[in-house]
Amino acid sequence: MKLQLPTGTFKAYLFDCDGTIVDSMPLHYLAWSKALAEQQCEFSEDLFYAWGGVSVAEVIQRLNKQQGLNMSVEEVSNRKESFYLENLPRLKAIPEVLEVIEANYGRIPFAVVSGSMRESVTASLTTLGLLDRFDALVCAGEYQKGKPDPEAFLLAATKLGVAPEFCLVFEDADMGIQAATAAGMASVKIVQTRQKASESVR
């Protein structure tokens, strides 16, 4: 399936990573499940997908507040990331986004704007041989306000030296689309049939 891109002159492409470049959402949910089970914390798959685009630290803070817990953000983040890295051999790219990347690489600069930690993003892109395609990465912990705030996208535009109105954003999460709009950027929604995490490991 070919992506329909909006008309306009775009001088940079900004990509979310998880669920946009890489089909990693089921693997991330498995990692969350394992890490949170150690803390006796519930995290339904429906809630996980509803919070798409929320940073790792923010997810833990929300769960703490919601369930009256006092989980360490750093400890749970590290456990979750380690479980995700174990699953990387199962990772696949999202074909229609990969097609855009390969067709436009070298023509205009690319950046990744993610709510995941840099280690996770770098590992995902390295696994698929895509890390060298990107001129800049903007990851969790490198900005103050997460999506739907536009800060991360504006930071990526600054890093690439391209005005926001000339950036095109690729996103799978509604919060990411809202952030792009707030940044004054056009966007493309990556719509996928949601795959249950349990199916991804059969």
Which sequence positions are flagged as catalytic? 16
Looking from the CA of 201 toward its CB, the CA atoms found within 13 Å total 13
Q: Are 124 and 108 a contacting pair, CB within 8 Å?
A: no
Helices marked H in 38-117: 45-50, 56-67, 73-86, 95-104
Hey, what amino acid is at 160? L
Interatomic CA distance for residues 69 and 190, integer angstroms: 34
Interatomic CA distance for residues 1 and 130, integer angstroms: 20
Of the candidates 94, 55, 95, the one whose C-alpha atom is nearest the C-alpha of residue 179 is 55
Order of strands across the sheet that contains 12-15? 136-138, 110-113, 12-15, 167-171, 186-189
Residue written as tokens 């940079």? 12
Residue written as tokens 């929320």? 54
The helix or strand, by DSSP H or E, that contains position 56, with its residue range, turns out to be helix 56-67
Looking at the DSSP assignment, which residues form a beta bridge with residue 13? Answer: 110, 168
